């Protein structure tokens, strides 16, 4: 990229705001990830901006209406991270159900010398409810089938799959043993998992979130875990990353990851290449590879 463009590495700057001011008339593209809010205000400050290429499948951090109004194109990194993120979902599901993180600590601190870890929960013959059967949800479904689970799903519309569809998430939560969130973030799914859904999932239920922290009412989740309203949770995402509520940190029945859904060397290289390919396609006048339709 440096052969072709002047790259401003904002993350290395002490005072990013002043750097934005310095280059504001020259910025033609932004490469961001999901932890950078790309707001109307930022876009307004950059009159030459043509493209926002995010290093993520999710684009809830970008004000799409503002981009559309200005004719700014947006690209993301779909498909290539679906297997990886689904694997992370299964890692969390297994870790939570089979007490993997707790067991690891049990050995390290010497508790095994004087006792046994409480029993885990089987995945086989259980029903898992997938919230959002998109690219990542579909890969999760395939993996759960391999673990001999029954797969059901909830989403805005029924898809052509062998899995049972629910148009009502509360009913699905009542019917399943475990629930995994793979839907997009943003306004439409904000606080979708609230106190009622957690109650419907029930005292043996496990919740896995590899979507966005905004999808879950976090205080309601803390309350549900503290009061045995659900049995456990495996979380890769949080409402205010990288800040994780203290209550979650102190719980044994929760497995916490630092938003690593797509974080392997192989997948991150593919994502980075796709970002570059989209930027080059735009400035070469070719069709974008993975444009977000707005």
Cβ neighbours, 10 Å, residue 209: 25
Residue 264 makes contact with ligand 8YV by CB under 6 A: no
Segment contacting ligand 8YV by CB under 6 A, of 5-13, 54-62, 123-131, 275-283: 54-62
Residues in the chain: 294
Q: In a 3-state reduction of DSSP, which class is residue 243?
A: strand
Residue 81 makes contact with ligand 8YV by CB under 6 A: yes
Residue 274 makes contact with ligand 8YV by CB under 6 A: no
Environment class of 253 (CB within 10 Å of its CB; exposed 0-12, middle 13-18, buried 19+): middle
Q: In what order do the strands lie in the sheet with 150-154?
A: 164-166, 150-154, 127-131, 178-181, 206-209, 232-235, 254-256
Segment contacting ligand 8YV by CB under 6 A, of 52-60, 66-74, 131-139, 145-153: 52-60
Active-site residue, from 199, 241, 247, 291: 241
Q: Is 259 a catalytic residue?
A: yes
Size of the site for ligand 8YV (CB under 6 A): 10
Residue 58 makes contact with ligand 8YV by CB under 6 A: yes
192 in Cβ contact with 215 (< 8 Å)? yes
- Round to whole Å and give the CA distance between 248 and 234: 10
Q: Is 4 a catalytic residue?
A: no
Sorted by sequence, the CB contacts under 8 Å of residue 55 that are 6+ apart come out as 31, 32, 33, 77, 271, 272, 275
Residue 259 makes contact with ligand 8YV by CB under 6 A: yes
Residue 55 makes contact with ligand 8YV by CB under 6 A: yes
Residue 132 makes contact with ligand 8YV by CB under 6 A: no
Instruction: Give me the residues that bind ligand 8YV (CB under 6 A), please.
Output: 33-34, 55-58, 81, 259, 261-262
Active site residues: 212, 241, 259
């Amino acid at each position: 990229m440096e052969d072709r463009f002047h790259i401003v590495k904002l993350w290395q700057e002490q005072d990013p705001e002043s750097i934005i001011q310095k280059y504001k008339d020259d910025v033609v593209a932004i490469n961001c990830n999901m932890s950078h809010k790309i707001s109307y205000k930022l876009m307004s400050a950059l009159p030459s901006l043509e493209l926002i290429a995010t290093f993520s499948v999710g684009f809830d951090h970008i004000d799409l209406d503002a981009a559309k109004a200005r004719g700014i194109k947006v690209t993301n990194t779909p498909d290539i991270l679906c297997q990886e993120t689904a694997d992370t979902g299964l890692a969390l599901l297994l870790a939570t159900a089979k007490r993997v993180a707790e067991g690891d600590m049990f050995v390290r601190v010497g508790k095994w010398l004087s006792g046994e870890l409480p029993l885990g929960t089987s995945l086989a013959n259980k029903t898992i409810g997938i919230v959002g059967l998109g690219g990542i949800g579909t890969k999760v479904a395939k993996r759960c089938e391999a673990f001999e689970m029954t797969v059901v799903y909830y989403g805005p519309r029924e898809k052509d799959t062998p899995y049972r569809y629910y148009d009502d998430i509360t009913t699905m939560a009542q019917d399943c043993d475990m629930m995994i969130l793979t839907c997009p973030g943003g306004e439409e799914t904000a606080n979708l998992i609230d106190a009622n859904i957690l109650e419907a999932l029930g005292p043996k239920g496990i919740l896995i979130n590899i979507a966005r922290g905004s999808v879950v009412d976090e205080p309601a989740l803390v309350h549900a875990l503290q009061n045995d309203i659900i049995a456990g949770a495996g979380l890769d995402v949080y409402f205010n990353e990288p800040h994780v509520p203290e209550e979650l940190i102190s719980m044994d029945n929760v497995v916490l990851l630092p938003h690593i859904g797509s974080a392997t060397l192989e997948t991150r290289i593919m994502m980075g290449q796709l970002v570059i390919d989209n930027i080059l396609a735009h400035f070469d006048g070719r069709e974008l590879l993975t444009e977000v339709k707005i």
